[in-house]
Amino acid sequence: MTPPPTAARPDAGEYAEFYARYVAAVPEGDILTAMRESGRALVDALAAEPESRGGFRYAEGKWTIRDVAGHLADAERIFAYRALRMARGDATPLPGFDENAYALTAGAGARTMTDLVDELRVVRESTVRLFASLPAEAWLRRGVASNAEISVRALAYIVVGHGLHHLAVLRERYGVATPA
């Protein structure tokens, strides 16, 4: 019996090599469970940071904690939009995006940590609901984004792995603690 698409890790041919580290970071098991749990971990870690630390950057030219929170919401929206288009059978090639240009114009520095964390929570809940609503056959559909073929299933893994990557960076370089 074939496992449901939410339990099967995407093959390397379902995404560009650039995303391999994100896919590899996702724990074994149901991707929707991982999406929910990693979303809670991100939100809890960022919510525990005092407002005064929101402007912290670990080195000159690096993003602040607020910038990272804003980037996570922006990137997740883009990944989810790609998944929606492909899941619905839209074969229109989708462009890439420059995360640094987005961060420069996002205005995260003028927002509170509370607002950014709440936005990230809502975006993740929306992403979970999108993927949870997909029929089994939609998970295997493919499209082109950033000039590379990618599957809907791979995009779910990329959402989770991207968040886990930034959570690790927040802990290692920004000193963001793991809430008890």
Q: Is residue 33 part of a domain?
A: yes
Structural domain boundaries, residue 117? 21-56+67-173
Question: For the chain, what's the residue count?
Answer: 180
User: Is 5 a domain residue?
Assistant: no
Domain count for the chain, please give it: 1
CATH code for the domain of 104: 1.20.120.450
Residue from 85, 83, 82 nearest 96 by CA? 82
Please, what's the largest Cα pairwise distance for the chain?
53
Rounded Cα distance, 113 and 170, in Å: 14
Residue found under tokens 């992403």: 127
pLDDT digits (tens, 9 = 90+) for 101-152: 999 999 999 999 999 999 999 999 999 999 999 999 999 999 999 999 999 9
**What is the spatial distance between Cα 145 and Cα 96, in angstroms, rounded to a whole number?**
6
Tell me the H-state helices in the chain: 20-25, 31-47, 65-87, 99-106, 113-133, 152-173
Domain membership of residue 140 (yes or no) is yes
pLDDT tens-digit series, residues 53-92: 999 999 999 999 999 999 999 999 999 999 999 999 999 9
Answer whether residue 148 is part of any domain. Answer: yes
Mean pLDDT across 148-166: 98
Name the token pair of 62: 């690096």
8 within some domain? no
Nearest-angstrom CA–CA distance, 77 and 163: 12
Residue 61 included in any domain: no
101/136 Cα distance (integer angstroms): 35
pLDDT at 8: 87
